[in-house]
Amino acid sequence: MFTFEIASKKSHYNIKYGYADCYFGKCFVAFSNDAICHLHFVDKESNSHIQELIKRFPEANLQEDTTQEATEVVDNIFVDTNTSKNFRLILQGTDFQAQVWQQLCDIPKGQTWSYEDVAVAMNKPKAIRPVANAIASNEIAYLIPCHRVIAKSGKSKYRWGPDRKISILEREGVHLG
C-alpha cells in the first residue's frame, strides 16, 4: 500500500540520499522522514545521481546519508515477507502521471500488463502513448512497479536494463517466453 504525495519543485524537504545493495543490484535512494522520493537501480555510484536529485528537488536541503539509514530503507523495501508494508512516496508529476503510477500499483504481483491494459483500466483506452510516457518517467523503481508493464509484442524496454526487469519479474513468479 502506498500513499502518494505530489510535490512541486519549490517544495522544501530535508532529503537524505545514499547507495545500498539489494537483490537486484545497487540502488540510489533518497528519502525524507518516512517517505521515499527517489529510488533508482544504478550500476555504479556517480555524481550524476545527486545532480538528478538536485534537479528534481532544487529547494530541498540534501544531505548524504552517513549512518547506513539508506541501507535500512532499501532493506525494508526489498525484504520478502507476506505482510504488506505501507510506504509514503513523494512524487513529482502531473495528475495524469500520478493516476498512471497509482494504476501500476494495482497490477497484482506475478502479473504483467500491456501499456494498453493500463490505459483501458484507467478508462482512457486511446491514451496508450501518454501512459507509456508516464511509466517511463517513474522515479521510484520497484515500488511503483513499471517493471510489470510489457509491450504487446513481449519486448519491453526498462530504464534500468532488460536483464534487471526479467530478474525482478522472475522473482515475482513471471516467466517471459
Please identify every residue annotated as catalytic.
Answer: 146
Of the candidates 118, 172, 120, the residue with the CA atom closest to the CA atom of residue 150: 118
Half-sphere exposure of 37 (CA within 13 A, CB side): 31
Q: Report helix angle 95-105 to 128-136, nearest 10.
A: 80
